[in-house]
Structure 1
């Protein structure tokens, strides 16, 4: 797949959640700053975006917002703009809608601050570059990065979508072919949220709307996907990272 000659330059990182399943660690710090192999989770995400050519990232903050802002201020790339949710959490959809207003209208990548991957092949297009190139706003509302369950660490095993031969996604039901897990990365055009509610709502509303219109598509992640939902999962993630760093 060719790399888009004009890569997506803007992104939104959803980072405002409370991280309740990671307590007691998140009683003293926000989940995106929890270190995995001596590196805060959100820095894995921001490094992936930077490597894909993203220049400006909106990041929403709520839980330990001051700590988040102080950490993000240390980065020079990508440029960070803060979407402040101190007053009220906006959920995934509301947070995205609010953050998009801080970015120029156009194509945008969206990532979760606590979901990332390792094991991309050097010299090949990255997963985010592939996703940006795959996204076609004429035929798609959103393009999702997905992963096969066997290429995950820390995941519950829940299957989210079925991916057909054309790359179209539908909600997974038992027995469906080509099941995949949503990997927490989206390519979309910001105008999709022009009519978004002003209050909190879940991003799944837009996933289901796109499915109903046959406009939700996806590609499969190359490498290995990590999710850290509990304190016990930290060690599993670190072992996986070390294994890939050693060339496994």
Structure 2
């Protein structure tokens, strides 16, 4: 059972990107969306929901695509009281297009954004407060890692604004983008962005030098189940 935090985050809405195909997991997982890959007989998505609820997230907007009916049925059966809105892409829009579509459904002016195949147990209270204090367009949670080549690196300036994004290659150490954000909805929707685009490439990496983008270091538990090795690690490490 998740240990629930008694404080309420100043941001209580979350977008969860749950439309991933899970192509690299096909050798170990049935043909389901990545977020529905089972970990101890529960979809990985259940762990993400429990984590977000523990930080006072009250409303969930799910971005769905591939085999969306599987997720819809699961949420209906196992989370009947969850305050959830399901946004289904008629065609793949990329991470940016998916977030943009979901942001049109938000009630507040700031939202947490999480990936459906990544669990990063960063402190959402800290994320939200720093985001609001800086009046940031986007605030990224960054995970320190060692000896890796699967992720690019984010560098920060002394004032914690983003200095640069570096490409994927081998790094002895560095800060990676943990895939958990606080986003100013109106600022994001006002950007001149196409219907289909990558949030990482076409928004973060293209605009960080023109917008207020903050990075916060969070040395918390992180797992991305996008490859079989880490999916198997999730089986050893996670419980709910």
User: Is the shorter-chain TM-score for this pair beyond 0.5, marking a shared fold?
Assistant: yes
> What is the match of residue 123 of structure 1?
none
- Give the Å deviation of 1:173: 4.4
The answer as to whether partners of 2:103 and 2:189 remain within 8 angstroms in 1 is no
- Among residues 10, 25, 29, which one is paired with 1:22 in the alignment? 25
C-alpha distance in structure 1 between counterparts of 2:237 and 2:112, whole Å: 26
The answer as to whether partners of 1:143 and 1:219 remain within 8 angstroms in 2 is yes
- Give the Å deviation of 1:195: 3.0
- Among residues 220, 235, 238, which one is paired with 2:235 in the alignment? 238
Deviation digits for residues 162-203 of structure 1 (CA, Å, limit 9, x no counterpart): 1333222232449x9x83101110001110222354521110
What RMSD, in angstroms, separates the aligned Cα atoms of the two structures? 3.0
- Give the Å deviation of 1:39: 2.9
Q: What's the TM-score once normalised by structure 2's chain length?
A: 0.83
- Does residue 88 in structure 1 map to residue 91 in structure 2? yes
- Among residues 37, 40, 44, which one is paired with 1:41 in the alignment? 44
> What is the match of residue 136 of structure 1?
132
C-alpha distance in structure 2 between counterparts of 1:81 and 1:129, whole Å: 23
* Larger deviation, residues 7-16 vs 220-229: 220-229
C-alpha distance in structure 2 between counterparts of 1:4 and 1:210, whole Å: 33
> What is the match of residue 59 of structure 1?
62
The answer as to whether partners of 1:48 and 1:128 remain within 8 angstroms in 2 is no
- Does residue 220 in structure 1 map to residue 217 in structure 2? yes
- Among residues 185, 188, 193, which one is paired with 2:180 in the alignment? 185
> What is the match of residue 122 of structure 1?
none
Give the count of matched residue pairs.
Answer: 230
> What is the match of residue 68 of structure 1?
71
- Give the Å deviation of 1:111: 0.3
Instruction: State the secondary structure of the residue aligned to 1:192.
Output: helix
Deviation digits for residues 141-177 of structure 1 (CA, Å, limit 9, x no counterpart): 1101110114x9xx74433201333222232449x9x
Q: What's the TM-score once normalised by structure 1's chain length?
A: 0.81
Which structure 1 segments of 5+ residues have no match?
119-125
Q: 1:104 to 1:220 in 2, by over 3 A?
A: same
